[in-house]
Structure 1
Amino acid sequence: MAVTIQNASRKKARLVGAFKQLFHFGWEQALSCVFPVVIFGSLALTKIISLPFLPRYDWLLIIFLFMQWWMVRSGLETKDELKVITLFHIIGLALEIFKVNMGSWSYPEEGFFKVFGVPLYSGFMYASVASYLCQAWRRLNVELVKWPPFFVVVPLATAIYLNFFIHHFWVDIRWWLAGLVMIVFFRSWVLYEVNGARYRMPLALSFVLIGFFIWVAENIATFFNAWEYPNQADAWSLVHLGKVSSWVLLVIVSFLIVATLKQIKKKYRHG
């Protein structure tokens, strides 16, 4: 009887400990998502409330710029992280301009700060992914195990990014690239820390999970008219599930860029 009670107590303690770890993990994730949350909150707020003097797209740009200034000013974001986010804003804006002019989606509302039909705030949608990666990397003390060499990672990331453009004129090789990612990162793991305890996850699995949650976020964003797909012109509808593959590839590009920059900075410090 005493042994049974003792075993039950151990199981209860393990269960409580698991919930505590899950809470800590969720809290760190929430803190890492501050900028994306502001983006979605602003999309919802400006959809419900009409702000004066400027078009909605311009207000969104002002809000996002102010938020970035505040994050750096408050210490929530480092200057190095701001540099990475700025890089992603430029990369994302270039992709947006191309995709919009190819008819993949559109920004139907008016705005003063638009370039070739694309509002400047749109680059922050990509920058928010980089913001999350940088914040989570620092908060969870991320380490990479069996990370592929530089001469493999850079061409792979470049090929994935270029495929977003080239597939409009040539064959879409996203599935070949996805297969190549699985081969290259088959033995790679990501280590992360939650409340002093270390955990690990296959790197490829983390790509899929983040890509799926971005797809969920995309549905929220299109619902609030952040942008509009052709099939959403008359009424909002769920973004096709196949879009997850595009987001997974984008996450891979984003992660490879962030990880490569982290590796370079680490070598520079130790060099």
Structure 2
Amino acid sequence: MKMRNVVHELWLFGLKQAYACMFGGFLLAVMILTSFWYPIEGLHRYDFLFLAAVAFQIFLLITKLETPREAIVIVVFHVVATIMELFKTSDGIGSWSYPDEFVFGIANVPLFAGFMYSAVGSYIARIWRIFNFEFSYYPSKTATIILVSLIYINFFTHHFFWDFRWVLFGLTVFMFYRTHIYFRIIKSHRHMPILLGWFLVALFIWIAENIATYTNIWIYPNQVSEWNMVPITKLSSWYLLMLLSFVLVSLVNNIRICSADESRRPEVNASSRSLHH
């Protein structure tokens, strides 16, 4: 491939990634802006973030920049995430906290918090469509649902019993070590190990988390007195959450399986090599 074509493809890859991150990028931009300048009296910052997220979602649907199916994914993520947030921020657990006041919220959790997780689900749903995902050696949906159910349960139970996240990592590697994800930038499908893809996304989420805690959106116990970088060990949690998010999105998307031979033939029509689980 000529260098010019490589640069062009990388440029398009970046543009499509940015397009897929539209909702998450909007939330992060508003968080940063309101941390330096927030002039609205009588409306708490957290409540403004909630209303801004809802308004932006309506805008995306009206302009058809987001599909109804992707909106459903966001609602599901908001519910699942809020349940976990209620537990993690409860007085008896206190994994993190929201230091500012709010009206739109439940217990210790402002309602906009669920949108931060929804941004991850929105990204996966959009990137799935934009890059026309296909897979090789993808496990059965039943097996993946069992795995992510255990991951979700462990987010709660590790506070009281043994943390078996490393067992879950082992199961993840065992199930997905052969799985490649195929993504189409222009015409041909490129591919990478899905385990690597999840790690790269988890890394970017960790970076975004550092920005969010720096802007005082939420804080961990070690950040109450002064801000400190979120430990790199949090990547393990984000990686598992990334896997959970991916499988949840897979439940509303067709998993198209690309055979090893066909994956090297971009001219083959995708519909002719798709198996719907």
Q: Which residue of structure 2 lines up, in the alignment, with residue 252 of structure 1?
A: 243
Contact 2:176-2:194 within 8 A present in 1 as well: yes
- Whether 1:44 and 2:35 are equivalent positions in the alignment is no
CA distance in 2, matches of 1:147, 1:55: 45
Once residues 138 and 224 of structure 2 are traced to their aligned partners in structure 1, the CA distance between those partners, rounded to angstroms, is 43
Q: Look up the equivalent residue of 1:182 and give its one-letter code.
A: V
What is the percent sequence identity of the aligned residues?
A: 38
Partner of 1:183: 174
Deviation of 1:259 (Å): 1.4
Q: Distance in 2 between matches of 1:207 and 1:180?
A: 15
Change (3 A) 1:264 1:141: closer
Match of 2:88 among 99, 114, 118: 99
Give the Cα–Cα distance (whole angstroms) in 1 for the partners of residues 159 and 67 of structure 2: 37
> Helix, strand or coil: the match of 1:144?
strand
Match of 2:21 in 1: 33
Counterpart residue number, 1:60: 49
> For the residues of structure 2 that align with 1:46 and 1:208, how far apart are their CA atoms?
30
For the 8 Å contact 2:124–2:249, the answer to whether it is kept is: yes
List aligned pairs for 1:75-224, cutoff 5 A: 75-101=64-90, 102-224=93-215
Looking at CA atoms only, which structure, 1 or 2, has the larger radius of gyration? 1
Distance between the aligned counterparts of 1:208 and 1:175, measured in 2? 15
- How far the C-alpha of 1:107 sits from its partner, in A, is 0.3
SS of corresponding position for 1:192: strand
Conservation of the 8 A alpha-carbon contact between 2:96 and 2:218? yes
* Count of residue correspondences: 257
Q: Aligned equivalents of 2:256 and 2:135: distance in 1?
A: 14
Structure 1 counterpart of 2:69, which letter? D
Counterpart secondary structure, 1:201: strand
1:260: Cα distance to partner? 2.7
What is the CA–CA distance in structure 2 between the aligned matches of 1:78 and 1:150, rounded to whole Å? 23
Stretch moving more, 129-138 or 143-152: 143-152
What residue identity is the alignment partner of 2:42? F
The C-alpha deviation readout for 1:36-61, integer Å capped at 9, x for no partner, is 11101111121122222211000000
Q: Give the deviation of 1:145 after TM superposition.
A: 1.8
Moved more, 99-108 or 14-23: 14-23
Amino acid at match of 1:237: N
Query: In the alignment, what sits opposite 1:4?
Result: none
Bigger mean CA offset, 87-96 vs 40-49: 40-49
Q: Give the residue type in structure 1 aligned to 2:49.
A: L
Tell me the SS of whatever aligns to 1:133: helix
- The structural deviation recorded for 1:147 is 1.3
Structure 1 residues without counterparts, runs of 5 or longer: 1-12
1:261 is paired with a residue whose SS is coil
Task: Give 1:265 shift.
Answer: 11
Tell me the CA shift for residue 264 of structure 1: 8.0
TM-score, normalised to structure 1, is 0.91
When the two chains are superposed, the root-mean-square deviation of aligned CA atoms in Å is: 1.8
1:113-156 CA-partner distances (Å, limit 9, x unpaired): 12111100000000000010011111111112221112211110
Normalising to structure 2: TM-score of the pair?
0.89
Q: Which residue is equivalent to 2:7?
A: 19
Where does residue 217 of structure 2 map in the other structure?
226
Counterparts of 1:84 and 1:114 in 2: how far apart (Å)? 21
* Residues 17 and 127 in structure 2, CA contact (< 8 A), matched pair in contact too: yes
Distance 1:40 1:238 in 2: 17
Which range moves more in the overlay, 27-36 or 190-199?
190-199
